[in-house]
Amino acid sequence: MEYKNVVEIAQLWGISERTVCNYCAEGRIDGAKLIGKTWNIPADAIRPSRRKLKNSDTLLHILREQKKAIFTTIKTIMNGYTFGINSRYGGYGLTTPQTDDVNGVNFIY
């Protein structure tokens, strides 16, 4: 059986050497052997397909959801501190911009 090294396989498949090494280390290339510090890959090895994300949540989506949750919590807390006419602090209400901030009007999702 003829073997090729990582550089040759990377050029053949049109991907980086690091990706080929990762494929070998993960056991995704059948017949790849590590001898010393060199991967020997069968010349007729088939390129593994790219993995798809396990879920559709991207980091940006996760952060936006966490941000919404934080502002919902803040809104809930702040609603307890608004000074309406019927409160014992009547007349000392929040200004319109402050109320908008609490209610999420000025918030960019």
Tell me 56's DSSP state: S
> How is residue 100 written in tokens?
């908008």
Q: What is the pLDDT along the chain (109 residues), one digit of tens a residue?
A: 899 999 999 999 999 999 999 999 999 999 999 999 999 999 999 999 887 666 667 788 888 888 888 888 877 776 665 555 555 545 555 566 655 655 555 555 5
Residues 31/41, Cβ–Cβ less than 8 Å:
yes
Task: Provide the pLDDT for residue 1.
Answer: 82
CA separation, residue 10 to residues 16, 64, 101 (Å): 6, 37, 53
Q: Cα(97)–Cα(94) distance, rounded to whole angstroms?
A: 8
Residue 13: the pLDDT is 94
Please say whether the dihedral angle defined by the alpha carbons of residues 53, 54, 55 and 61, taken in this order, is positive or negative. Answer: negative
The predicted pLDDT at position 9 comes to 95
Answer yes or no: are the C-beta atoms of 12 and 2 closer than 8 Å. Answer: no
